[in-house]
Amino acid sequence: METDSLDEISSKTRAAYNLAAEKYHQLFFDEIDKKEFDRKIIDEFSEYFDKGSVLCDAGCGPSGHITGYIFKKGIDIIGIDISDKCIEIARKINPFIKFERGDISKLEYDNNYFDGIISYYSIIDTPKKFIPCILKEFKRVLKPGGYLLLVVKYGYEEGFITDLLGIKTEIYFSLFTEHEIRDYVIECGFEIIKIIIRKPYDFEIQNDRIYAVCRNPFT
């Protein structure tokens, strides 16, 4: 089954994560603490910014653990997620951080608003044909010279699945190759700083991870 409507995909994603938010938080709230590699990537990415910068954690999830990790560095960051339940939990856990419900394919922010965007697995619930729509939206709200950290899981498959963390629901799932990610970000006008691939930790789903650090050029 496939749909031509990104709005319909987004609606299914919202409904699925509303159902799975509590379980997702129970499973992954301390995930960043277990991943030295990811902490290093985020630490290095954070060095692009100062205390006057404003970042967006696009698809922050119920734990807001990436948002919180950045916030503790003294950098202003907003967590955005399509799921009402995810935002409700994230606000409860992180009362001093700003979280807002929103669709990353149509962000309610002005052009050139953010200094940086982190997208940790947030595009994997989107059909590949719509990925340029999301990346162009990221580019729109990024300041010239702003930075993007894009993280996905490696693979070739895409399509609807009917189980999310053991919960019966319908959600889209996409895996990506390094070449696909490289082509997408270049097509959407980003400069690639680096792309890194790591093997999965033993406790993770056994797909390699792809990390793309990109820059929105000044011209």
Q: What is the pLDDT of residues 136-161, one digit of tens each?
A: 999 999 999 999 999 999 999 999 99
All domains of the chain, ordered by start, with CATH?
6-156+181-215 (3.40.50.150)
**Under the phi-then-psi rule, with left for phi > 0, alpha for psi from -120 to 50, and beta for the rest, what region is 110?**
beta
| Cα dihedral sign, 4-188-142-90 | positive
Tokens of 112: 């050139």
Q: Are 180 and 148 in contact (CB under 8 A)?
A: no
Give per-residue burial for 118-130: e unless 16+ CB within 10 Å, then b: bbbebbbbbbeeb
Say what the pTM is.
0.95
**Per-residue pLDDT in tens (0 to 9) along the chain, 219 residues:** 455 699 999 999 999 999 999 999 999 999 999 999 999 999 999 999 998 999 999 999 999 999 999 999 999 999 999 999 999 999 999 999 999 999 999 999 999 999 999 999 999 999 999 999 999 999 999 999 999 999 999 999 999 999 999 999 999 999 999 999 999 999 999 999 999 999 999 999 899 999 999 999 987
Q: Which residues contact 123 (CB under 8 A, 6 or more apart)?
A: 59, 104, 131, 134, 135, 150, 152, 174
Q: 213 forms bridges with which residues in the sheet?
A: 149, 194
